[in-house]
Amino acid sequence: MFIDYTKVTCYSGKGGAGRISFRREKFVPKGGPDGGNGGKGGDIVFIVDANLYTLQDVRYNRIYRAQHGEPGGKSERTGKNGADLLIRVPPGTIIKDSESDKVLADLVDDDDTYISCKGGIGGRGNVNFKSATNQTPRIAQPGMPGEKGTFNLELKVLADVGLVGLPNAGKSTLLARITSATPKIADYPFTTLQPYLGIVKVGNFKSFVMADIPGIIEGASEGKGLGHQFLKHIERNRLLLFLIDSQNEEPLNTLKILREELYAHNSSLKEKPSIIVRSKFDIIINDESRIEWPIEMGNYIDISAVTGYGIDKLIKLIDKKLNEN
| Domain topology for 161-324 | Rossmann fold (3.40.50)
Q: Check whether 19 has a pLDDT greater than 90.
A: yes
CA-CA-CA-CA torsion sign (66, 71, 73, 77): positive
Rounded mean pLDDT of 15-30? 86
- Percent residues over pLDDT 70 in the chain: 90
Residues carrying CATH 2.70.210.12, the chain: 1-155
d(CA 296, CA 284): 20
Q: How do residues 295-304 score in pLDDT, each as one tens digit?
A: 888 899 999 9
Cβ-contact 221, 265 below 8 angstroms = yes
Domain 1-155 has CATH 2.70.210.12: yes
d(CA 163, CA 195): 10
What order of strands is seen across the sheet that includes strand 93-97? 63-65, 5-11, 148-155, 93-97, 103-107
Residue type, 198: G
Residues carrying CATH 3.40.50.300, the chain: 161-324
Considering the chain, what is the average pLDDT of its residues? 86
Q: Check whether 224 has a pLDDT greater than 70.
A: no
Distant-in-sequence contacts of 223-232, Cβ < 8 A, 24+ apart: 225/167, 225/190, 226/190, 226/193, 228/265, 229/4, 230/195, 231/261, 231/262, 231/265, 231/266, 232/154, 232/156, 232/265
Q: How do residues 70-83 score in pLDDT, each as one tens digit?
A: 999 999 999 999 99
Residue type, 281: F
Q: How do residues 96-108 score in pLDDT, each as one tens digit?
A: 999 999 999 999 9
Lowest mean pLDDT among 13-17, 89-93, 179-183, 203-207: 179-183
Q: Check whether 218 has a pLDDT greater than 70.
A: no
Confidence (pLDDT) at 171: 84
Q: How do residues 249-292 score in pLDDT, each as one tens digit?
A: 899 999 998 898 888 888 888 999 999 999 999 888 887 767 78
Confidence (pLDDT) at 287: 77
User: Predicted confidence band at 219 (pLDDT cuts at 50, 70, 90)?
Assistant: low
Residue ranges of alpha helices (H) inside the chain are: 56-59, 171-178, 227-231, 251-265, 311-324
What order of strands is seen across the sheet that includes strand 113-117? 85-89, 44-48, 113-117
Confidence (pLDDT) at 227: 47
